[in-house]
Structure 1
C-alpha cells in the first residue's frame, strides 16, 4: 500500500498519524518544540505544545500522566539512530512524510512492533485483572502511535486486521491534506507568500519540510543560478521531488504551485 504516494511497509501499521498524536497530547508538549520546522506547518495548528525552552507540561498529555524518559536516557541506552537524534517519534514523522532509510526503518519498525506488542498485552491484562485504567501505561503506548485500548497481537496475527489500520491511516492522511488544501494555510513567515498544497503529495510534504531552510525571499525559487546551492541545503529531498522543484524553479511547470495574495 502507498501512503502519501510512497510505498509503506506492511509490518508497520501505526494507529495514529503524527498530527493526530500532537493534537491529542504527547511527551508533555516538549518533544517537537525545537524541531517542528522540519515538518508540515499544519501539523502544529492544534498541537498541544509548550514554548521552546519551557519544561514539559504533563497536563498537556492526553492521559494527564508522565510517560517519557529524558532524551539523555535514550542516548545513554544507545536507542538513538543516526538520522533521528530525537528518537522513535521523529523517525515516525520522517517515515510518514516519505523518507526511507531501509536499514534504520527495519530497526525502528521492529522496535515498534516488539514494544507495542508487549506493553499493549500487559496493559489489557492488567486492566482486566484490576479494573484500573493505568494512565501512565496508556500514555506510553500512545507515544508509540498505538491505541492503548487495542492489543496489538491480534493485528500481528491477522494480516486483514492490520490492513484495516493501514487503510485508516491512509484515509486520515488524505483527510488532513484535504483540510490543509481547503484552508489555504500559511506555510511560513509573514514575508513569505502563501502556497497551496502541491498536487504531488510527496513533493508537497518534502517542500514543506524544506521551506524553513530557505531564505524568506521567494525569488530563490525562480533564480536558477541558486538552484544547485538550494539543493545542497535541502539534501532531504528525493530525486523525484528535486526534479519537480527544478521544474517549478525554471518555470517549466508553473502550475505545480499556485501563489495567491
Structure 2
C-alpha cells in the first residue's frame, strides 16, 4: 500500500531541537511501514492517536517540526501545550506515566538515542 505522507522521503535529514533533544540529527532510510519488526502491527496510526488526544494532548507537541504536519492536521484542538489535560484525552482520563516509570519498566532503554523511546 503506498504511503500518503509526502513529508517522509528516504534520504531526508531530520534535525531535532525540542525540550528533550538539541541538534540531534537522523536520516530517514525507508518509507513508513518498511523495515519494521514483523510482529509490530499497530491498530492505529500516529495521526489517529494524536487526534484522540493521547497522553492528555501532551505527547509530541513540543517537537512537531520533527514529524509530518499531516500527523497533526486533525489534532490541533487536542494538543495541550502547557501541561497535560485529561479533558483532551478522548476517554477523559489520566493516561500517562512519568518518563522515569517508562525507564524503570524497560519501555525506553537508557542508551536509546531517542529519549522518548
How does the TM-score come out when normalised to structure 1?
A: 0.29
Name the CA distance, whole Å, in 1 between partners of 2:67 and 2:115: 15
Matched, 1:24 2:21: no
Calculate the aligned-residue CA RMSD, in Å.
2.4
Aligned to 1:11: 39
Matched, 1:71 2:99: yes
Flag the 1:15–1:78 CA change in 2: closer, same or farther, 3 A: closer
> Which structure has greater helix proportion?
1
Q: Deviations over 1:107-142 (max 9, x none)?
A: xxxxxxxxxxxxxxxxxxxxxxxxxxxxxxxxxxxx
Flag the 1:77–1:9 CA change in 2: closer, same or farther, 3 A: closer
| Secondary structure in 2 matching 1:6 | coil
Structure showing greater Rg: 1
Q: Deviations over 1:59-108 (max 9, x none)?
A: 11111111210123324555423122113xxxxxxxxxxxxxxxxxxxxx
Mapping 1:65-214, distance limit 5 Å:
65-81=93-109, 82-87=112-117
Matched, 1:50 2:76: no
Aligned with residue 37 of structure 1, among 47, 65, 71: 65
Deviation of 1:50 after TM superposition, in Å, equals 1.0
Flag the 1:71–1:17 CA change in 2: closer, same or farther, 3 A: same
Aligned to 1:94: none
Aligned to 1:129: none
Give ranges in structure 2 of 5+ residues lacking alignment.
3-30
Q: How many residues align?
A: 85
Q: Deviations over 1:238-258 (max 9, x none)?
A: xxxxxxxxxxxxxxxxxxxxx
Give ranges in structure 1 of 5+ residues lacking alignment.
88-261
> Which structure has greater strand proportion?
2
Flag the 1:14–1:37 CA change in 2: closer, same or farther, 3 A: same
Name the CA distance, whole Å, in 2 between partners of 1:5 and 1:63: 28
Name the CA distance, whole Å, in 2 between partners of 1:78 and 1:10: 21
